[in-house]
Amino acid sequence: MRSAQMDDVVDLLIIGGGINGCGIARDAAGRGYSVCLAEMNDLASATSSASTKLFHGGLRYLEYFEWRLVREALIERETLLRAMPHISWPMRFVLPLNEDMRFEPATPASRIVAGLFPWLRGRRPGWMIRIGLGLYDRLGSRQILPGTSSVDLTTDPVGKPLKPGMRKAFEYSDCWVDDARLVALNARDAAQRGATILTRTKVTSAQARDGVWRAKVQTGSGPVTISARMLVNAAGPWAGEVIRNVTGLDTRETVRLVRGSHIVTRRLFDHDKCYFFQGDDGRIVFVIPYEADFTLIGTTDVDHKSPDTPPLCTSEERDYLCRFVSKYLSTPVEPADVVWSYSGVRPLYDDGQASATAATRDYKLKLDQSAGAPVLNVFGGKITTFRRLAETAMRHIDANFKRSTQSWTADAPLPGGNFPVGGAGKLAAELLERHPFLDRKWAERLVRGYGTDAMEMLAGARAITDLGVHFGEGLTEREIVWLMTHEFAATADDILWRRTKLGLRLDTVSARTLERWIVDRRSSNSCLA
């Protein structure tokens, strides 16, 4: 920003730097709107870096008859795969049939089955699951992803990690995504298209005067005022606080906060497929290969009281997840096996459901002009449908500005994603050929994080010494400068736990060295300025 008081009036001030805020910023900037996004912490520092890392339709949402949400998400999977083949890729999910497993019929579909067939009470029969997977395949208009198949667990390698006695499973397709990198790349693309992205910048109040919002904003260098013709409240768990305490709007729309926790262990099995386990409480848990040497297990659904209470995976949630998967795995997972855990708060639209699990994952957008200037409040949503949510937001924004703009993001790759689905291996080989001082694992990590931008990042480097300080695990000064310059990273945590997941590998001493280096660089740059 040029001064402590911004003179320009922007079209949109977006509050919140999660996936919804950054997705809307990218779409709006690409349509010619002037955009400023303010995030009070780092990009993806809350919900958007704490997901189960999947682009998926939500198989279990079929039991709640959420047809539109599931269909939209299923179709969107392949659109997103094409746009970001570096940070997302197809995965196969194995759903074992445990005939002895009983569960509470808590969903509308399961209650109907229990009513029609009392002898099946407390069980999802195989035919019911197969019908659901058949719908899953047909609703999705697949071109890339293979459909459902049956698996003989007594002969297929995916049966080896499971308890003896499990004989049959279904296998279906969904997709992996690096959620925090997805947010950062949307923000980067928005900035390249003219948006202003402000991190560590909190909007503290906003008042409408003469049809324009005057927002008071606290930055690291002091308070400023940003003027905008329209606000977009994409604050996620803090959306309710923005409504009440920032804009002072009077609305009945509320957010339900649901905490989802995950645990990470050392790798539990040798293949690259995932498991979808059903619990006797009616819930499901995913067990997913993670960062090559680890396994990700999640998630829970627990009501969370306040967005200002840091979400932590409690010992009860950790133990619940361990017990849950141990009912399926031949080698039990113990709390001592957990090497890391994380937790996030889902800001779900409050539809009045008694159960946190049953609360809708669909999104709601509400335009409010009662203050004298428009604000678009965003409730709910999921990673898979972020782009469609942004398109829906743009319809509201276009209507407010009386403009007619065109959707464009479905055919536009994110930065680094301009190569074919399945082409990451070839790209890694090309990177190795140009920079033979890398090893295969290092090259693959760079391609999975940056795609074709890895070539630009390493341009001119002929030896490892050309990459500057090496902090360990392939993390060098060259990569850190790239992240700080292009992806708004400002701290060691931003780099180790959101832009990369090298926090799982780097020791404490190396992490502290990295933080000191970043502080020294910022200080040096400040002096030069």
pLDDT of the residue at 141? 79
Could you tell me the CA-to-CA distances from 342 to 28, 47, 339, 345, 382 in Å, in that order? Answer: 32, 11, 11, 11, 18
Q: How confident is the model at residue 122 (pLDDT cuts 50, 70, 90)?
A: very low
Q: Is the pLDDT of residue 120 over 60?
A: no
Distance CA 406, CA 105 (A): 45
Q: Which residues pair with 209 in a beta bridge?
A: 212
Of the candidates 356, 392, 355, which has an alpha carbon nearest to the alpha carbon of residue 377? 392
- Above pLDDT 70, what percent of the chain? 91
Enumerate residues 6+ apart whose C-beta is below 8 A from 457.
Answer: 446, 450, 478, 479, 482
Digit-coded pLDDT (tens) for 410-450: 999 999 999 999 999 999 999 999 999 999 999 999 999 99
Q: Is the pLDDT of residue 528 over 80?
A: no
Distance CA 216, CA 199 (A): 15
Q: Is the pLDDT of residue 106 over 90?
A: no
Do 306 and 62 form a contact (C-beta atoms < 8 A)? no
Of the candidates 515, 446, 439, 528, which has an alpha carbon nearest to the alpha carbon of residue 484? 515
Question: Between residues 355 and 336, which one has the greater pLDDT?
Answer: 336
Angle at 325 between CA 320 and CA 326, to 5 degrees: 95
Distance CA 364, CA 350 (A): 10
Distance CA 322, CA 329 (A): 10
Do 86 and 449 form a contact (C-beta atoms < 8 A)? yes
pLDDT of the residue at 356? 58
Cβ-based neighbour number of residue 272 at 10 Å: 10
pLDDT of the residue at 125? 74
Long-range Cβ contact pairs of 79-83 (< 8 A, separation 24 or more)? 79/387, 79/410, 80/55, 80/175, 80/177, 80/384, 80/387, 81/55, 81/144, 81/175, 81/421, 82/144, 82/413, 82/421, 83/409, 83/410, 83/412, 83/413, 83/414, 83/417
Digit-coded pLDDT (tens) for 451-488: 999 999 999 999 999 999 999 999 999 999 999 999 99
Distance CA 396, CA 416 (A): 30
Enumerate residues 6+ apart whose C-beta is below 8 A from 447.
Answer: 86, 424, 427, 428, 431, 454
DSSP letter at 272?
S
Q: Which domains does the chain have, with CATH numbers?
A: 5-47+180-254+361-411 (3.50.50.60), 89-176+256-347 (3.30.9.10), 424-528 (1.10.8.870)
- Above pLDDT 90, what percent of the chain? 79
